[in-house]
Amino acid sequence: MWLLSRLLRRAIRVGELILVDAAGAEHRFGVPHPDWPPVRARITDAATARAIGLNPALGAGEAWMDGRLVPEGGDIRPLLDLVAYNLRWDGDNATRVGLWRQQAIAAKVDQVNFARRSRRNVAHHYDLSDRLYDLFLDADRQYSCAYFDGDVSLEQAQADKKAHIAGKLCLMPGQRVLDIGCGWGGMALYLNRVADVDVLGVTLSEEQLKVARQRAAAAGVADRVRFELIDYRAVEGRFDRIVSVGMFEHVGRPHYGEFFRKLYALLADDGVALLHSIGRVSGPGATDPWTAKYIFPGGYTPALSEVMPHVERAWLWPTDIEILRLHYARTLEAWYERAAAKRAEIEALYDARFWRMWAFYLWGARNAFQYDDHMVFQMQLAKRRDAVPLTRDYMAAAEAGYRSKGG
């Protein structure tokens, strides 16, 4: 327990954590705070305390999944909130500056995503049961950051996200659009419906491909909205517009140059691309080992400082960049609440351990945006400096038009 106690004495400064060890002894860390009620949890054995002390993210995540780390009341959120706030990304938080250095060498190795490995990594997460995603996503299965324009529902925020992205693409009827990482087809079908464009969506998930094709056939647009199981590196042809939402996080740092060179090759000379990705404001970092093992193998959240050199070398113009800060925190809160309401059904699909894993993932990700260094960036790219209007006014006008057509 001494190793974990040493770690927690350094980490918990605001609020109080009461940890009960396997022998029943209480260990208190931090000090009471009016804004942070005391958090109480129990560790069932000495080996668990040692595992968390040696590797906090992996050790704590696995202990919670296995029932060896037991928060009072069975809710992991207060414990995750307390730890995340104390390790928040702020320049005046000495705890964060001194502590958060997680296995950068291993993370760099895990970034290598050759085509075959990319498909395996995607299947690990996206080829889970369709029923699981139906239980917590909106009806269109938008599995990326929503756009909250006021106090609106998740459904409205996801519809507004699609309109927000479409407004940046300068779409015209009949254009050819490529959707890299098309998911279950929601964005591709939306763009076809509101802008009368032809779309090719590419994915590495067989389950997503099946659903996307079914949706296109049901909408009667399979001749104009096609979906293929293909790596983006193998796509050929030219496209007037390219959109990629929530896929770049799976590219891997060693492949950024390859990604943007391919985007340049696929984009028409007067074309426009829109890249929507999670990013980090703290500079280059590392994926925590629990997330890399259980949720997104091969995934990495990039800093803009890591992305921009490759944009420059690909001879692309960054014609617009927007940062969305707390939108994903709100999205993940909504997903967690929906998943928690369907906990019994999720456990029936898998088991209680899977539910605990999923809860840890959703709320831990929420805290990455609420307290840590995560954000979302939308980067508009073009080959030519005059590919889009000189001012941003056109975006709002187009977005409003798409919103009027509904989600």
The pLDDT value recorded for residue 27 is 97
Cα torsion angle, 111, 116, 121, 122, sign: positive
Q: What is the mean pLDDT of residues 32-60?
A: 94
46 close to 341: Cβ distance less than 8 angstroms? no
The pLDDT value recorded for residue 314 is 98
* Integer CA distances (angstroms), 199 to 69, 191, 233, in order: 47, 8, 17
Q: Does 278 share its domain with 142? A: yes
Determine phi and psi for 185, rounding to 5 degrees. Answer: 95, 0
How far, in Å, CA of 204 to CA of 118, rounded? 8
pTM over 0.75: yes
Q: Does 78 share its domain with 122? A: no
Q: Does 82 share its domain with 28? A: yes
Question: What single letter denotes the amino acid at residue 163?
Answer: A
Q: Does 88 share its domain with 234? A: no
CATH number at residue 291: 3.40.50.150
Q: Which domain holds residue 257?
A: 108-403
Secondary structure, 3-state, 302-344: CEHHHHHHHHHHCCCEEEEEEEECCHHHHHHHHHHHHHHHCHH
Q: Quick one: pLDDT band at residue 97, thresholds 50, 70, 90?
A: low
Q: Does 8 share its domain with 119? A: no
Residue tagged 């060179």 (tokens): 261
Instruction: Inform me whether the pLDDT recorded for 2 exceeds 90.
Output: no
Cα torsion angle, 21, 23, 26, 28, sign: negative
Q: Does 279 share its domain with 379? A: yes
Domain edge (last residue) among 100, 121, 136? 100
Q: Does 28 share its domain with 155? A: no
Which 8-state DSSP code applies to residue 150? S
Per-residue pLDDT tens digits for 217-271: 999 999 999 999 999 999 999 999 999 999 999 999 999 999 999 999 999 999 9
The pLDDT value recorded for residue 109 is 47
Instruction: Inform me whether the pLDDT recorded for 108 exceeds 80.
Output: no
Q: Quick one: pLDDT band at residue 116, thresholds 50, 70, 90?
A: low
Number of independent structural domains in the chain: 2
DSSP secondary structure of 232-277: GGG--S-EEEEEEES-GGGT-GGGHHHHHHHHHHHEEEEEEEEEEE
Q: Does 135 share its domain with 94? A: no
The pLDDT value recorded for residue 84 is 95
Q: Does 210 share its domain with 313? A: yes
For the chain, the distance separating the N- and C-terminal CA atoms, rounded to the nearest angstrom, is: 53
Question: What is the number of alpha carbons within 13 Å of residue 132 lying toward its C-beta?
Answer: 18
Percent of the chain with pLDDT over 70: 92
Q: Quick one: pLDDT band at residue 298, thresholds 50, 70, 90?
A: confident
Q: Does 84 share its domain with 133? A: no
Q: Does 170 share its domain with 39? A: no
Helix (H) or strand (E) holding 118: helix 115-126
Domain edge (last residue) among 100, 132, 162? 100
Pairing of strands 198-203, 176-180: parallel
Ranges of beta strands (E only) in 140-182 are 176-180
Which 8-state DSSP code applies to residue 188? H
Instruction: At 170, list the tokens.
Output: 């300068």
The pLDDT value recorded for residue 125 is 47
Domain edge (last residue) among 84, 100, 116? 100
Q: Does 188 share its domain with 91? A: no
Question: What single letter denotes the amino acid at residue 246?
Answer: G
* Integer CA distances (angstroms), 108 to 59, 95, 181, 289, 338, in order: 20, 24, 23, 12, 34
Buried b (16+ CB within 10 A) or exposed e, 142-157: bbbbbbbeeeeebebb
The pLDDT value recorded for residue 297 is 87
